[in-house]
Amino acid sequence: MKIGNHIINKTSKVFIIAELSANHNGSIETAIETIRAAKRAGADCIKLQTYTADTMTINSKKDDFVIKGTVWNGSNLYELYQKAYTPWEWHTELFRIAKQEGLECFSSPFDKSAVDFLEGLNIPAYKIASFEITDIPLIEYTASKGKPIIISTGIATEEDINLAVNACLKVGNKDIALLKCTSSYPAPIDEANMCMIRDLARKFNVISGLSDHTMGATVPIVATSLGAKIIEKHFILDRSIGGPDASFSMNEDEFADMVKMVRDAESAIGVVDYSLTEKQRAGKVFSRSLYVVKDVKAGEPVTEVNVRSIRPGYGMHPKHFNKILGKTFNKDLDKGTPISNNMIN
């Protein structure tokens, strides 16, 4: 999978996405400064959401359209999306700023008109949000554009994921990533289920990653250790500015700390390699080897009393100890002499 200048595969670095979402609070100046802050914090990418209240839902006061059991409890869907959406007329400028900052920039479309609009911006990839994973016609249409497609699985059953992946494959798009996501805002850490990272990659033969709504960096670090190659976190200049997503978004300092910890985790994971580094080879001198531990004369037998496996490691390998027991020394040796083959008959 390639997104802009970034190759994403099993051996690549984690691709870190800062999700702008509604954290512009209706101000393009805030949106621009958020993009610049994301770059300073170490993000690889800034992600937008492309919808209007009318492309998301209808303006209805019926009980079905009142949000229950989330951070937006009691809000009307239409009114929430009217407040949270990113104006489409901002997109060109936000994409320009992202490019200027050296960030990749793409978006989550929520209907076909958004896909058509984003195609005009030469978008390098698409993200399907968790709650849209069941919108198979939207996924097919989006995937048909031939761009990499990243799908969050926050509300998905295994059947839902199968349907979404097959919708992409049906239109010839194999550039698919699945993100483990817990659709709670914020999400409890004990519901993160990071073991799914490996299972998603194995079961669906795709790149896997994390769209995270937990607080802090613990879950992204665990995800990295389990093979996540994409990590997405909501990003905000300052939670005090408020907004629909503020309570579960990271500020610049928090995001920068997370990026550092993810990069440190990548370094710690390393690669499968049984060879020794120069420092490890140098450390071999502190391993054990065979030494004379009591003055001996030529002709004396090697015993467990006069030869032992001790530190440092300049003598014969301890694996030879049983082979030389009972043989004789061919010269006088002082205590502290490392054993070598030419000392034993």
3-state SS assignment for residue 71: coil
pTM of the complete model: 0.88
Class of domain 278-343: alpha beta
Backbone angles phi, psi at 11, to 5 degrees: -110, 0
Distance CA 102, CA 80 (A): 32
pLDDT of 73: 73
The predicted-structure confidence for 210-236, as pLDDT tens digits, reads as follows 999 999 999 999 999 999 999 999 999
Q: What is the pLDDT of residue 71?
A: 66
Q: Is the peptide bond before 148 cis (omega within 30 degrees of 0)?
A: no
What does the mean pLDDT of the chain come to? 95
Question: Where does CATH 3.20.20.70 sit in the chain?
Answer: 12-269
pLDDT value of residue 203: 98
- pLDDT per residue over 25-68, tens digit each? 999 999 999 999 999 999 999 999 999 999 999 999 899 999 88
CA neighbor of 5 nearest in space, from 41, 45, 48: 45
Q: Give the integer Cα–Cα distance in Å for 30 and 245.
A: 14
102 burial level (CB within 10 Å; 0-12, 13-18, 19+): exposed
pLDDT digits (tens, 9 = 90+) for 245-284: 888 899 999 999 999 999 999 999 988 889 988 888 888 8
Structure tokens given for 37 = 């802050």
Question: Percentage of the chain surpassing pLDDT 90?
Answer: 88
The whole-angstrom separation of Cα 336 and Cα 319 is 19
Note the pLDDT tens digit of each residue in 155-208: 899 999 999 999 999 999 999 999 999 877 788 999 999 999 999 999 999 999
Cα-based torsion angle of the residue sequence 194, 196, 198, 202 in order, rounded to the nearest 10 degrees: -170
Give Cβ neighbours of residue 255 (< 8 Å, ≥ 6 apart). 18, 38, 41, 42, 43, 233, 235
CA gap 212, 41 in Å, rounded: 17
Identify the CATH homologous superfamily for domain 12-269: Aldolase class I (3.20.20.70)
Helical (H) or strand (E) element with 212: strand 207-212
Give the pLDDT mean for 119-131. Answer: 97
Q: Which residue has the tokens 């027991």?
A: 325
